[in-house]
Chain A
Amino acid sequence: MKIFFCLKVVFVSVEYPGIESSTKFVFDKIGIDYDISDKQTCCTGLGHYSDVFDQFTTTAIGARNFKVASNLNRPNLVMMCATCYAINKR
């Protein structure tokens, strides 16, 4: 399956890049066809759950990320953290 890999994540890209490298390692090993984009941004996770971000803004950012994936013709998104998964699933 072709997937879009959301790797710009606060707790991954900014804080613990080892998660990014190990996930890519696993994807390569099991033959996952993934693509990434410099245009993708993080999900607002910590801001959302601390209530600094409102739902409308978080949804707008999520919509933008789905559009980035859609433009690459990869509508199936894979998240690297639980917060991204929960927010984008919603």
Chain B
Amino acid sequence: MELFFIAIHVIVHVLLETVFVKLIRLLKQFAISKGIAYEQLYDYLGFADSYFNAAIGAIPSNFYEEISEDVDGWWEFRQHLSEIREELGFRSGFTSSEVIDEVSLILTNTGFKDRMDKIRQSKEGNDEASS
């Protein structure tokens, strides 16, 4: 009987957590659609730029310094990724221009490119205005 109550407790907990996480995400996306918090999103724009231009994301370069401080040897490792891939017998990790065109078209048609431009404008537009 005790096991039954533990199982019920776990199921309810997981369900509530799932609903809560989805609700938070919906609220965040609603706020972003109203132009709120673009400055915070700007830090991650490097990922979007990489996805749009190369059809694969990448860690934004503004995080490199902190990752290098936190992870010993990470920068050295990253500098030699192409050689490591070659040593492991892999082809280039990058996608063809045909796929890049297809993906960037999707990102444009879903309105994501506009969103990227607005996020960029919120920071760089202000920087230009103040300089």
Contact = CB atoms under 8 A, between A and B. Distances in A.
Given A38-B96, A41-B55, A55 B29 contact: yes
Given A17-B88, A18-B88, A38-B96, A51 B28 contact: yes
Interface residues of B, number: 38
Interface string A62-81: 00100000000000000000
Contacts, number: 99
Contact of B110 (A47, A50, A56): A56
A25 B115 CA distance: 41
A54 B33 CA distance: 9
A8 to B, nearest CB: 6
A30 interface: no
B106 A64 contact: yes
B99 interface: yes
Contact of A51 (B41, B88, B116): B41
Nearest to B56: A42
Interface string B50-70: 010001111100000000000
A4 B41 CA distance: 33
Nearest to A41: B55
B84 interface: yes
Contacts of B106: 57, 60-61, 64
Cβ-closest 10 pairs across A and B: A50-B44, A10-B57, A57-B112, A57-B110, A13-B93, A21-B88, A52-B44, A47-B47, A41-B55, A42-B56
